[in-house]
Amino acid sequence: MPQVDPRQIIKDASEGSYAVGAFNMHNEETTEALVRAAERAKSPVFLQVGRAIVPHMGLKKAYEMTRRVAEESEAEYVIHLDHGPWEEVFEAIKLGFTSIMYDGAHLPFEENIRTTRKVVEVAHSFGIPVEAELGKIPDADQQVDWQSYYTNVAEAERFVAETGVDFLAISVGIVHGVPLATAQPLDIQRVKEIEAAVGIPLVLHGASGVPDDEIRAAMAAGVHKFNADTDLRLAFRAGIEAVWSQGDRQLEDAMAEGRERMIQATIEKMELYGCAGKARGLLRAQR
């Protein structure tokens, strides 16, 4: 099945007061897990080519693998570049990605605006929406001054107005990974203030390990795309370890069990986000 329009998927989520899951693959089996979860849950899904798989196999091979697995399925999907640096964004456009995240959050604010605006100009000329990030997201259990990491509301308003991005990833207490210590509660009030200021759908990266009630509150406040990886990767690992704990077994057996557990973990995320049962085909049939 061909890719679906990412703008329409997020528009449906915004109008329906739910969010769409965006998940990273790491090899063939994890790609299959995400696609099969979307089929079983009848959910749209963002298949994210991210920062782990690109150094492992290269952007082109990662994209081709993802496209092949997805096209052979009945899933409704978008192939999305996650945290793309400058050069990689333009390579992704040439390859055929239909959704791009350009990450200039590490740059000085003015430079982030300037480079993001250029990416938006090029991507929009090909009909491709752009996600960008403002604020900083620490690793799990990293000790930080949260006030210096949070997305500034006034800066977010100016950033969106001057760049024309379609979706904005924000920092409101989220982390990369799953914290072992007590997690920082999400600043839901800040989410509301940013949403009111920018008027475009918001994204939260690092949604693994976030309590369900905070996920629901973030959705109600204006978040319509959640990026999650660690929880799914741990489910895949648990399946492999469960098979290998039985003694000498084929690698394929272990990978198959990991894939099945990741499918179930992904479906649970889709149900939590409210996108299960929201595939475009089902929505059209209901209208």
Buried (b) or exposed (e) across 23-52, using 16+ Cβ within 10 A?
bbbbbebbbbbbbbbbbebbbbbbbbbbee
- Rounded (5°) CA angle 57-36-53: 15
Could you give the residue numbers annotated as active site? 82
Classify residue 208 by its DSSP letter: T
> Which tens digit of pLDDT belongs to each residue from 122-176?
999 999 999 999 987 766 666 666 676 789 999 999 999 999 999 999 999 877 6
> Stretch 18-32: mean pLDDT, rounded?
97
Given a cut of 80, whether residue 264 has pLDDT beyond it is: yes
User: Which residue in 287, 210, 273, 232 sits closest to 10, CA to CA?
Assistant: 273
pLDDT band at 180 (very low <50, low <70, confident <90, very high): low
pLDDT at 143: 66
In the numeric block, the tokens 């456009």 are attached to: 93
User: Which residue in 17, 74, 56, 107 sits closest to 280, CA to CA?
Assistant: 74
Residue 29: CA count within 13 A, CB half-sphere: 19
Class in CATH terms, 6-286: alpha beta
